[in-house]
Amino acid sequence: MTSKTAESAVLKPDICVIGGGSGGLTVAAAAASFGVSVVLIEKGKMGGDCLNYGCVPSKALIAAAKHAEAIREAPHFGVFAGEPEIDFARVNAHIHEVIGAIAPNDSVERFRALGVNVIQAEARFTDARTVVAGDQTIRARRFVLATGSKPRVPDISGLSDVDYLTNETLFSLTTRPEHLIVIGGGPIGVEMAQAHRRLGCAVTILEMGTLLSKEDPELARIVTRRLEADGIAVLENIEILRASKGGDGSVSIAYRIDGKETSVTASHLLVAVGRAAQVDNLGLKEAGITFDQRGIKVGSGLKTSNSRVFAIGDAVAGGLQFTHVANYHAGLVLQQILFRVPAKENRSVIPRVTFTDPELAQIGLTEEEARKAGHTITIQRWPYAQNDRAEAERRTGGEIKIVAGKRGVILGVGIVGHGAGEMINLYALALSKKMTLNDLRGFIAPYPTMSEIGKRAAISYYAPMTRKPFVRKLLAFLRRFG
């Protein structure tokens, strides 16, 4: 092959996307819809972690657990069905049916039909502007790294010698664990702990700090109390010493709590201590891209140290590892690549939800974060127990907590309770538009809905005005005119 022929064989798309997860697929589909040439490289399953091992299967499992719990709660409403019988193999089938129903939207066939050149191979940079994938060489105008993340495995003595689960293997179980130990009290750990408990497993959570430590501690404690009420053994502020395997295949974890060493033995172990960015074997050094063990370093516009390359989603060092963040990043990158319009990530408008029962949703600053930032704040609360719809559905556990700054500007909102993940959407809009409590006070919520909880919290901000002497004198004056 002559050098001229070899050069002509090089693919020269406008955009090369590495990673076929949610963020990468968003970039590829959107760019292709504008008629832009796109190469998408994915070495594993299309849809990435979210579809195959993360959001989709976990929420499908949680849905099954909710149905089981609804049967247990039915006698409160005068409906009797007895203790639910769990067919764990059927639960597993349900999970994979859900994945199968969504998979065509993320498939190679669909993206090729959209005009995307999909390459199923491992990608690696050979220099600052060239990627090799399989037998293909790609020299794109811009590259987008959307390589996602993988389960982080802690350095625990003996862990490599025992069988343990991560989110990548958990959803292959067709037999219900007798007893599940969960190492890690973050969102993944607590969601899976509660779901398995409600499906009939004994569950122990081992957390070296406190559960849901990144959330408002007041709201997180409400979730913790519910987990304990469900019968989950929650052990916080412990030191994990070692893991060992029993002759019957069981797993034991030795730990220290309050200065005393003890251990717990179970049939299964789930490691859920967070995620690590996928940066291995990408040739990042050859491409001149700065990275470390946390991920790829980017500026506020998500551009790497190589001006041709952007990084999005879980691959970003210190980033927020959520599917909706990857999609948000995709939009910011497309804005810059396609339209040459500057874009900047704004984390204050990104909501997050832990899908336990009750759900815990947060956007913006927590109370502690607002105080540390030097804001003068007020806290407005309203309990679910004072909402008529919550009473009717016996969902009275929880509250909304609004952090407001000067002149009632909304700085952050936390909701713990039924439907919190849906309700947080209103406050995501409120923060993105820099709304105030007066704006919330003015909107009309249909009755009876749980959305009224937020409005009642906003109205309570203005309650002290009714007791001010000036206001009362003004009203008395105005009454003179009939």
Judge contact between 257 and 236, C-beta under 8 A.
no
User: Residues forming the annotated binding site?
Assistant: 59, 147-149, 184-191, 207, 274, 314
DSSP track, 56-112: HHHHHHHHHHHHHHHHHHGGGGT----SPP--HHHHHHHHHHHHHHHGGGG-HHHHH
Amino acid at 31: A
User: Residues forming the annotated binding site for NAD(+)?
Assistant: 184-191, 207, 274
Regarding beta strands 410-417 and 359-364, do their DSSP bridges make them parallel or antiparallel, or are they unpaired? antiparallel
Specify the DSSP element, H or E, that contains 333.
helix 323-339
Q: How far apart are the C-alpha atoms of 344 and 50, rounded to whole Å? A: 25
- Cis before residue 448, ω within 30 degrees of 0? yes
Tokens found for residue 287: 């491409």
User: Residues forming the annotated binding site for FAD?
Assistant: 59, 147-149, 314
The DSSP symbol for 259 reads: T
Helices (H), 114-242: 167-170, 187-198, 217-229
Tokens found for residue 364: 């913006």
Return all residues near 237 (Cβ < 8 A) that are at least 6 apart.
207, 208, 209, 210, 257
Residue (of 464, 399, 454) closest to 429 by Cα position: 454
User: How many angstroms separate the first and last alpha carbons of the chain?
Assistant: 97
Q: How far apart are the C-alpha atoms of 473 and 45, rounded to whole Å? A: 70
Question: Other CB atoms closer than 10 Å to residue 425's CB: what's the count?
Answer: 13
| Chain Cα centroid distance, residue 214 | 12
